A = this chain, B = another copy of it.
C-alpha cells in the first residue's frame, strides 16, 4: 500500500509496504555498556514519527569514521571529518527529514548550532559531538528545533532502545536495520551493535546511507579507524543500488571501552583482535546487505560474483559495471536470465576480458560458456530459478585469480515511481 504525504512544497511518495526482501529474523539488541539512546519527534519534516536520535557515550569513548567520496559533501560530513581528528566522542545526533546538504553558509552555522545545543545537553566539549543528517537536500535545516529537544533526550537517554533508534533515522527505508554480534576479546565478552539506514547508495533527496556501529571494546581511535577502513571495502563499499552517491554517506564507529576485563589493544594487527575483527566485519556486512535488501523498489536481492579477473580491483570494476547496468537490473526485474546484457556490462567496464573465455551462471545454472550460449542449459530450469527472491550472477572471466563480490537489487517501475512521482 502506498500513500502520499504532503510536506513543505513537496509531495513525498512513501511506500508503506515493507520490502519483500526484509530479513525475517530481526535480532534483539542488548544494551551496550557506555551507550544510552533516546529518540524524539522534532517535526524536522515528517509528521507523526520520530526524526531525531541522540546517543550519549560514556567518557573515554573513541570514534572512527568513513564518509562519502562526493566532492560536494553535506555540512554534517564536513563537521564529522574535522572532529574525527580528536578521536573522542560523547554524543551522536542524527536527524532524518533534512540532509543539511548544499545549504551553503547556513548549513555550516546550522551544524555549529546543533553541536552547541548537543554539547550543552550532554555536558561535553563541542569537539566530542558527532552529527549526521538525512533527507531532502538544499533546504536550510532550522537547528533551533533541537533546542529543548536534545535536553529532553539527554535526560531520557537509557540503555537499549536500538530498534527505536534505527527507526528514527529512516527516510524511504521500509524497515529498520540493526545487527549485533558478541565475541571474546581476551577473556572478556564484548558486544558490537550496529544500525543503518539506506534505501539507496543513494538518493540524496530522500535517502542517504548512514550507519552507526557501537562496541564496548576498549579500542583506541586509530585502531577503530583501521578496522573500519578495512571493513567497509567488502561490505558497504560493495553495495550499490543505482550507482548514485550521496552527499551525506556516513559510517561512524564508537568504542566505549566499558566492557569489563577486556585487554587494552593498541595496534590493529594485535592477534587478540582476530575474532573481534571478524565479528565487526560481519556486523558491517549484515547491515550493508540489509541496505541492498531495502533498495528503493527492490523485489530481488542480486549478488554478483566475478572471478578469473586479472586482479580483485578489476573484478570489482566489472562487478560494479554489471550491478549498475539499468539493462541488467531491468532484466532481473523481469525475471529473465539475460546473459547478453551481462556480456554487455562486462564489455563496457573497460577491464581486461576475453569474450571467448567468458562463462556466465544465474543461480548456479551455467547459461553461457566460451563466448557463446551454453547449449546444454535447460530453459525451464533457468526460468524457475529467476523467480527466486535472491539472484546470484556469476561471471568467470578465465584470465587470472582476481575475484570479487558485490550486492545490488533489481530496477523496477516502483523505483521510478518513488524517485519520479513524489511530486504532483
A interface, CB within 8 angstroms of B = 9, 68-73, 101-107, 136-140, 200, 202-205, 242-247, 324-327, 330-331, 333-336, 338-341, 343-356, 358, 368, 370-373, 379, 411-413, 415-417, 419-423
Contact = CB atoms under 8 A, between A and B. Distances in A.
Contacts of A345: 244
Contacts of A104: 356, 370-372
Contacts of A354: 71
A72 B203 contact: no
Contact of A244 (B327, B358, B371): B327
B69 A348 contact: yes
A345 to B, nearest CB: 7
17 contacts: A69-B348, A70-B344, A71-B347, A71-B354, A72-B355, A72-B358, A73-B347, A104-B370, A106-B372, A137-B340, A203-B341, A205-B341, A244-B344, A244-B348, A326-B411, A333-B420, A334-B420
Contacts of A340: 101-102, 136-138, 204-205
B347 A72 contact: yes
Nearest to A72: B347
A137 B245 CA distance: 32
A106 B341 CA distance: 19
A348 B245 contact: yes
Among A345, A370, A420, find the residue whose CB has the most chain B CB atoms closer than 10 A. Answer: A420
Given A244-B327, A327-B244, A358-B72, A419 B138 contact: no
Contact of A346 (B71, B136, B326, B355): B71
B353 A71 contact: yes
Contacts of A423: 334-336
B245 A355 contact: no
A413 to B, nearest CB: 4
A295 to B, nearest CB: 11
Given A334-B422, A372-B106, A347 B247 contact: yes
A371 B73 CA distance: 11
A101 B107 CA distance: 52
B330 A419 contact: yes
A70 B68 CA distance: 30
Contacts of A326: 242-244, 326, 411, 415, 419
Contacts of A101: 340, 343
Nearest to A324: B243
Contacts of A200: 327
Contacts of A107: 372
Closest 6 CB pairs of A and B: A104-B372, A70-B347, A72-B347, A334-B420, A137-B340, A330-B419
A416 B333 contact: yes
A9 B419 CA distance: 33
A354 B107 CA distance: 15
